[in-house]
C-alpha cells in the first residue's frame, strides 16, 4: 500500500471566513492564505512530495467584487516575485494551469518568468490552478483532440484514456493521490474532475489560513491508513 502520496492537490477554502471571524477585510484573509501557501509548500518539499497542486483562483471567482479580484491578482504577482529565489533554492519547478490568456498581463508576465526561471529544477512540481475550471479543462481538451484528429485524420475509435489525458492541462503530472479540502465543504467545486477519479479525499474543518504542517500531517496519516482499490 502506498503510504505517502506522490501528488497532493488542495482546495484552499476559508480565507474569507477566517477574516470574518476576526472582523477583518476579506483581503486580509487572502494575505493570511498566501502565508499558508508558503508554509505548506516548504513542508511538502521537506516530505519529498513529488507534486503539489493548489486551487488558487477558479473560473467562477471572477464573480467576486472587482476590488477583491484586483487585489488578489496584485497579491499573486508580488508573491511570485518575492519567492523567486526561494523557489530556486528549494529546487521547485513552478507550473500553472488554467485559461491563462484571460489573466491580467502583469500577472501573466510574472507567471511566465517564474516558469522560465525554474524550468530546469528537478524537485517538487508546484502547480497553481489559476482561472481554472475542471469542466472548462475538459472542453479545451476535447476541442484540441478534435482539431488534432481532423488534422491527422486519426481514427478516434481506437483512442484510450491516455490519448485524452495528453490534451489536459495537467499532462505530464501524475493524478493526485490525495485531494485535501479545508473549511469543511464537502464538494470538489469543479477542481481536477478527470484527474481525481480515484483520488482519496480528505476534508477538514480547519480554515485554509490555519492549515499548518501539523494539519497536513493529520491528512497524511489518514491517507496512510486507507486501502486504495481503484475499483478492484
Q: What is the set of active-site residues?
A: 13, 61
Q: Any residues with CB less than 8 A from the CB of 200 and at least 6 apart, and which?
A: 5, 177, 178, 179, 223, 226, 228
CA distance 47 to 50: 9
Strand partners, 93: 125
For cell 503539489, name the residue: 52
Q: Any residues with CB less than 8 A from the CB of 94 and at least 6 apart, and which?
A: 87, 114, 115, 117, 118, 126, 128
Helix (H, G, I), strand (E, B) or coil at 159: coil
- What is the per-residue DSSP string for 18-68? HHHHTT--HHHHHHHHHHHHHHHHHHHHHHT-SEEEEEEEEGGGGGS-HHH
For residue 195, give the nearest of 229, 228, 164, 226 by alpha carbon. Answer: 164
Give the DSSP H or E segment for 148.
helix 134-152
For residue 164, give the nearest of 193, 190, 184 by alpha carbon. Answer: 193
Strand partners, 202: 180
Residue 62 cell numbers, joined: 471572477
Amino acid at each position: 500500500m502506498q503510504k505517502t502520496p506522490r501528488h497532493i492537490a488542495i482546495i484552499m477554502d476559508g480565507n474569507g471566513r477566517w477574516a470574518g471571524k476576526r472582523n477583518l477585510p476579506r483581503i486580509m484573509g487572502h494575505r493570511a492564505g498566501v502565508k499558508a501557501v508558503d508554509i505548506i509548500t516548504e513542508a511538502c518539499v521537506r516530505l519529498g512530495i513529488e507534486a503539489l497542486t493548489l486551487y488558487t483562483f477558479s473560473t467562477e471567482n471572477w464573480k467576486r467584487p472587482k476590488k477583491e479580484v484586483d487585489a488578489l491578482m496584485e497579491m499573486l504577482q508580488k508573491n511570485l516575485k518575492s519567492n523567486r529565489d526561494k523557489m530556486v533554492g528549494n529546487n521547485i519547478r513552478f507550473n500553472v494551469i488554467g485559461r491563462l490568456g484571460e489573466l491580467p498581463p502583469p500577472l501573466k508576465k510574472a507567471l511566465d518568468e517564474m516558469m522560465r526561471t525554474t524550468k530546469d529544477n528537478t524537485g517538487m512540481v508546484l502547480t497553481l490552478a489559476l482561472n481554472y475550471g475542471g469542466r472548462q479543462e475538459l472542453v479545451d481538451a476535447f476541442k484540441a483532440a478534435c482539431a488534432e484528429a481532423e488534422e491527422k485524420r486519426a481514427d478516434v475509435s481506437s483512442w484510450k484514456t491516455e490519448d485524452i489525458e495528453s490534451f489536459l492541462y495537467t499532462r505530464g503530472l501524475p493524478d493526485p493521490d490525495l485531494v485535501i479540502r479545508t473549511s469543511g465543504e464537502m464538494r470538489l467545486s469543479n477542481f481536477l474532475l478527470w484527474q481525481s477519479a480515484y483520488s482519496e479525499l480528505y476534508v477538514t474543518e480547519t480554515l485554509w489560513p490555519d492549515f499548518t504542517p501539523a494539519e497536513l500531517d493529520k491528512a497524511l496519516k489518514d491517507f496512510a491508513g486507507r486501502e486504495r482499490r481503484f475499483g478492484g
